[in-house]
Amino acid sequence: MIAFLFALFYQRFLGLFFDTRKAAAARDTQSRFARLPAEQVAALRSRMDPYPPPRRLKKPLGGKDLEGWQLKDYENGRQVWHKQGSPTSKNKGRDNRSGGRSQSEAEKHFLGLLPKKVRSSPASSAAAAAVHGAAFLRRVQIPASGHLGNDYGGPMFLLPGILIALYAGGKREGELLPEPQQAEMRRYLRNQQNADGGWGISTVAPSGLFGSCLSYIALRLLGVAADDDALVDARAFIHANGGPTAAPQWAKFWMSVLNVFSWEGVTPFTPELWIMPRWVPFHPWRFWCHCRMVYLPMAYCYGARFAVPETQFIRDLRDELYPSTTPYGATRFRDTWFDTSELDRYEPTSAVLRASFFVLGLYEYVAPTFLRNRAQSWLLQLMAVEDMSTHYIDIGPVNKAMNMVCALAAYGPRSQQYQSHEERVGDYLWLAADGMKMQGYNGSQLWDTAFAVQATVSVLRATKGRDDLDLEPARAFVRDAYDFVDRMQVRDNVPNGEYYYRHKSKGAWPFSTAEHGWPISDCSSEGL
């Protein structure tokens, strides 16, 4: 432990020194960059693009009967899609919030069902064009709440996590969600598959093992057969690039939860780090909130070595994911800690980090049971505060799915904690023209609406007194949007927040909804 403390102190303080030097070098680079001619700046920017757009496998698959999909009529900004006439997983017979109404203009817009071109006379001036734009915002404003909805998708590693959490709770593959939702998820994953058979870390990234392993698992969990052409191509890509053992840390975490990887092959998420004294410079409470709230449930799952029970489906997945040359049963998982494909490696693993993991790995052999239990109990307490203060939405989609798994591991699938998580899964699922995906947040409701209000108010100020322009749609948009922004202000602090590593939140605005509740500085400024 002394060696570990020394290694982390070394990493932290020497890292600060080098970070300072890097910052100075960056400022010098920015200064020189600013003096370059415009042509050279444009050339540099084109070369700075991290990767070219990926080639898709085939023409995008269109949706069937998208006219039947609607958002439930929540006044608090919740965005939950459902298909008219289909049962839902948790609210059958008691939450028909759309009331049999017809599809709104906003819903048609989100699903790509509005005409691409609308016949109208050309605007006679810039002011008239701006008024037309404000009128369009009014058309796509969600009537029940007054906010603007938006597709906040992109990452390809989010949807697999929530599907694994649902499967772990006892649902069978192909029966995790109502079939209309599953069908749209399958369509989305097929649409995002690249020509080489793999998937990227995001919709615009080239294929890697992170996106490919998890997206393959997601399609299998959604009921797609292993001999499906898309999965045959995906297996070929995965096997050719090293298989699951060459996937990065987060992929290994999820595959260990699903029992198609071994916790022995995952670098340690030591729970005891969370019960160190707060003055320790590397205590996790000092992490950026999105980092902290993800590694919190990771530490609990690692400490419990939670994995779903082995079934024939799990054995089939193991056979499919691993190359025949190194099958699951013959893999030495402990030797794969730092095996990461070049496709997924953005930075090399430092010697200090390797040494730290080595010491933490040794600690696992001697970790006192009483200390591990105390740490696990504290982690559960921290997650309970996070779950309850966010109405089981959690700070983001990654820890949402992970906290759900932890609730299952600690309390069981019939527990209030796990079922409360399951009831809020729909908040993260967004349907668009390319299918249903899991968003990077439960939405961007406050953020988008606040900017739109400011733009529309500017239009109204610039056109004040213009009788030749129809300003009523713009005024109506601002009235309803203002009411939404006002209601989204966070009214309370997290009880005993400082003790649970939380800042004050009362008076702030979130990125999405007041139920989410995490205070964000730039969202607060825009909301104000």
Round to whole Å and give the CA distance between 75 and 70.
15
What is the band of 263 on the pLDDT scale with cuts at 50, 70, 90?
very high
What is the band of 87 on the pLDDT scale with cuts at 50, 70, 90?
low
Residues sharing a CB contact under 8 Å with residue 105, sequence separation 6 or more, in sequence order: 114, 139, 140
CATH architecture of 50-118+151-266+307-327+336-344+416-443: Alpha/alpha barrel (1.50)
What is the band of 302 on the pLDDT scale with cuts at 50, 70, 90?
very high
User: What's the confidence (pLDDT) of residue 102?
Assistant: 87
Higher-pLDDT residue of 15 and 486 is 486
User: What's the confidence (pLDDT) of residue 17?
Assistant: 42
DSSP 507: T
**pTM, rounded to two decimals:** 0.88
Q: Longest C-alpha distance within the chain, in Å?
A: 80
Round to whole Å and give the CA distance between 332 and 235.
21
Q: What confidence tens digit (pLDDT) does each residue in 406-463 have?
A: 999 999 999 999 999 999 999 999 999 999 999 999 999 999 999 999 999 999 999 9
User: What's the confidence (pLDDT) of residue 26?
Assistant: 47
Round to whole Å and give the CA distance between 113 and 66.
8
> With 50 as the cut, is the pLDDT of residue 8 above it?
no
Higher-pLDDT residue of 248 and 102 is 248
What is the band of 3 on the pLDDT scale with cuts at 50, 70, 90?
very low
Q: How far apart are the first and last CA of the chain?
A: 48
User: What's the confidence (pLDDT) of residue 430?
Assistant: 98
Q: Is 394 left (phi over 0), alpha (psi -120 to 50) or beta?
A: left
Q: What is the mean pLDDT of residues 53-59?
A: 63
User: What's the confidence (pLDDT) of residue 54?
Assistant: 66
> With 80 as the cut, is the pLDDT of residue 299 above it?
yes
Q: What is the mean pLDDT of residues 190-195?
A: 96
- 348 phi, psi to nearest 5 deg: -70, 150
Average pLDDT of the residues of the chain: 89
Round to whole Å and give the CA distance between 47 and 43.
6
Q: Based on the number of CB atoms within 10 Å of its own CB, is 278 exposed (0-12), middle (13-18) or buried (19 or more)?
A: exposed
The helix (H) or strand (E) run that includes residue 438 is strand 435-438
User: What's the confidence (pLDDT) of residue 338?
Assistant: 95
Token pair 């299952």 is found at 408
- 429 phi, psi to nearest 5 deg: -95, 125
> With 80 as the cut, is the pLDDT of residue 316 above it?
yes
Q: What confidence tens digit (pLDDT) does each residue in 218-233 have?
A: 999 999 999 999 999 9
Classified as helix, coil or strand, 316 is: helix
Q: Where in the sequence numbering do the catalytic residues fall? A: 522
The CA dihedral of 457, 458, 460, 466, to the nearest 10 degrees, is 180
DSSP 141: B
User: What's the confidence (pLDDT) of residue 84?
Assistant: 85
Q: Is 223 left (phi over 0), alpha (psi -120 to 50) or beta?
A: left
Residues sharing a CB contact under 8 Å with residue 183, sequence separation 6 or more, in sequence order: 64
Q: What distances in angstroms separate CA 387 from CA 236, 253, 390, 424, one per listed residue?
A: 40, 21, 5, 11
Asked if residues 402 and 154 have their Cβ atoms less than 8 Å apart, the reply is no
Angle between helices 209-221 and 249-257 (to 10 degrees): 20
Q: What is the mean pLDDT of residues 31-57?
A: 61
User: What's the confidence (pLDDT) of residue 268?
Assistant: 97
> With 80 as the cut, is the pLDDT of residue 98 above it?
no
> With 90 as the cut, is the pLDDT of residue 55 above it?
no
CA 527 from chain center: how many Å? 23
Q: Is 266 left (phi over 0), alpha (psi -120 to 50) or beta?
A: beta
Q: What is the mean pLDDT of residues 260-281?
A: 97
* Tokens read off for 446: 């406050």
> With 70 as the cut, is the pLDDT of residue 47 above it?
no
User: What's the confidence (pLDDT) of residue 50?
Assistant: 56
Round to whole Å and give the CA distance between 108 and 98.
15
User: What's the confidence (pLDDT) of residue 164?
Assistant: 99
Q: What is the mean pLDDT of residues 260-286?
A: 97
User: What's the confidence (pLDDT) of residue 31?
Assistant: 52
> With b meaning 16 or more CB within 10 Å and e meaning fewer, what string describes 158-185?
bbbbbbbbbbbbebebeebbeebbbbbb
Round to whole Å and give the CA distance between 447 and 439.
15
Q: What is the mean pLDDT of residues 94-119?
A: 77
Round to whole Å and give the CA distance between 243 and 523.
41
Q: Which of 127, 125, 139 is nearest to 465 (CA)?
A: 127
User: What's the confidence (pLDDT) of residue 45?
Assistant: 60
